[in-house]
Amino acid sequence: MRLSPRSCIGAFAALVVFIAGTAAAGMPDILGIQLGMPAREAYAKLQAQIPKNPIQVTSINLPTIEKQVISSFQSAPKQTIAMGDEADIMTVYVTLPPNKQAVWRIDREHFFPDKGIPKKTLLASVREKYGKESRATYGKPTTTDESQIVSLLWLMDEQGRPATLPPRVGMTDPLSSCGSEMNVESPPAMTFASADYKWCQSNYTAVTVSFMNSELPELYSRMIVGIVSLPFARRAGEATLKWKQEIAEGQHKQELEKAKQQEKPKL
């Protein structure tokens, strides 16, 4: 006997509305795709923005849902990217049921043609789009030397407003723990004991841009842009985990009830 997906999802209606409400018009975007955007809308936008690239979908199996569920989709060239080619690889990650599927993370890697783009031009462009950064770095140290910048960070709240950087605790930078969360493909549901991880999962909504230097020191050859909201992802991940647990518990009870209907064995 199968549980009805509608009955399971209905129990989470209030939570889903709360999570979906995280999407805000003021959130930053990459090629028009924003955090909190509905998955279908984001897919259509990605297809329209980079029409020459095919889109590869990653799906997973979830209980009570017959068809596989999309967890992410990627736009990438069919052919190998050669030196000097202009190209884009873009991946969009979405939340899972019982949440309304929405974007929680976007990654884009852009390869500039020929030898690259002037550093001043690219820095001015990303600042025009995202505003003044929270921090500029050269490796791990921060820097104010424009020619040395290899990454920029914009930290914000869940309405897209600039947020202050967390204080360092001794030599520990809480933001360094947030980067490892970017390696997961599905929304994180685990609550870590580390204070840094707790801070990340409660506060880290950010834009990051990293630059690859060209063989010419005045140019960048590539940029990698990421936008993520770990608080949004955590809430969605916890809702999915709880939903799966309740389905498993319901199925367990049903199996026990079914077993009780059996006649006494002949001994």
pLDDT in tens, 57-96: 999 999 888 899 999 999 999 999 999 999 999 999 999 9
* pLDDT given for residue 17 in this prediction: 37
Residue 177 confidence (pLDDT) = 75
d(CA 116, CA 220): 5
Give the closest residue to 54 by CA, choosing from 87, 29, 30, 31.
87
pLDDT in the model for residue 16: 41
- Does residue 257 fall inside a structural domain? no
Q: How many domains does the chain have?
A: 1
Residue 233 lies in a domain: yes
What pLDDT shows up at residue 191?
Answer: 53
C-alpha dist (Å) from residue 184 to 91, 94, 132, 230: 13, 12, 28, 11
Residue 169: inside a domain? no
Residue 262 forms part of a structural domain: no
Question: Does residue 171 sit within a domain?
Answer: no
Please give the residue range of the domain that contains residue 120: 5-163+187-242
Determine, yes or no, domain membership for 265: no
Stated pTM of the model:
0.84
Sequence-ordered list of residues with C-beta below 8 angstroms from that of 38, at least 6 positions apart, any chain: 100, 101, 102
Residues of the chain short of pLDDT 50, as ranges, are 1-22, 171
**94 occurs within a structural domain:** yes
Inter-CA distances, 137 with 105, 142, 168, Å: 22, 4, 16
* Residue 251 forms part of a structural domain: no
Tell me, what's the pLDDT at 15?
Answer: 39
